[in-house]
Amino acid sequence: MDPQEAEAAIRLPSDAAPPQPRRVCPGCDRPARVCLCHVIPRPPIPTATRVVVLHHPHESRHKLSTVPVLSRCLLNSTVLLHRKLRPGLSPLLDRFPPSIYLFPPSSSSSSSPSLTLSQLRASDLLRRAEHEGLVVIAFDATWKHAREMVSASEEYLSRFAVRVCLDFDYDESVDGGSIYDSELLLRKEPYGGCVSTMEAVARVLRVVETNGEEVEGRLIGVLKEMVRLQASFLKPAKPRNKLLKKGSRGQQQKKMEQEQSEQLQM
């Protein structure tokens, strides 16, 4: 077969329909099959607290990122697409307002100590923020990248912000679950106590807003619906067999051969 014949052989039939682009909802900018317009608050929820999310460039392309949904739900929210906070990136932060930034503690980290939400409620930071309004800063990325982002930003943040973690038991020896655990793993967290960016912000707003329970409930409701819709297009995850090291695999093979030999001799 000459090159021209080979090329003709792999051409699609003339009547074959080209693949159709995925329909995207103009209201929430999500695929039409998982549109969230029916649960996203209209108008967005007003809050005295201003939320700033540092969104890693890689995470912005992830289909399960909660930040685009969060920004549509909250009126006073800003998303910064960058790897670190620095002077000149945000006019709001450059004014050094009373702020907290969210990130769990780590036994292997020497970064600044953190308050829990319960301790924040009892601190004088909220009273100092009554006139200017509190700013909540969140980092959205994979946990590896988020640690790098926090580490790179802490020199700047140390001028005006306090580190806060949720009232969860963080345990790096325990595997984390998915967003609202079910038989379908959507995104697995690195260890026990970690949650998505949207859930973390919702938990904080419950404490710092006067109608915090209502705000939290509405945000968590949107997140649950997002998970429900996404889960309907996934198959249950099958557990993978534990891989053995090369030496262990060889020893296991020898043991099996020995057992087979003993059975033949019986």
Phi (first) and psi of residue 51, to 5 degrees: -110, 130
DSSP state of 94: G
Looking up tokens 């890689």 gives 58
Q: What is the pLDDT of residue 177?
A: 40
For residue 27, give the nearest of 58, 59, 72, 60 by alpha carbon.
Answer: 72
Q: What is the pLDDT of residue 235?
A: 59
Q: How far apart are CA 110 and CA 112, in angstroms?
A: 7
**CB within 8 A of 72, min separation 6: which ones?**
28, 40, 44
The tens digit of pLDDT for each residue in 115-149 reads 888 888 888 888 888 888 899 999 999 888 999 99
Looking up tokens 């990325």 gives 141
Q: Rounded to 5, what percent of the chain is helix, strand, coil?
A: 40, 15, 50
Please say whether the beta carbons of 227 and 186 come within 8 A: yes
3-class DSSP state of 120: helix
The tens digit of pLDDT for each residue in 140-158 reads 998 889 999 999 999 999 9
The tens digit of pLDDT for each residue in 15-63 reads 556 666 778 898 888 889 999 999 999 999 999 999 999 999 887 666 6
Q: Does residue 86 or residue 192 have the better pLDDT? A: 86
Asked whether the predicted pLDDT for residue 245 surpasses 80, the reply is no
**Cα torsion for 252, 254, 255, 261, to the nearest 10°?**
150
Asked whether the predicted pLDDT for residue 174 surpasses 90, the reply is no
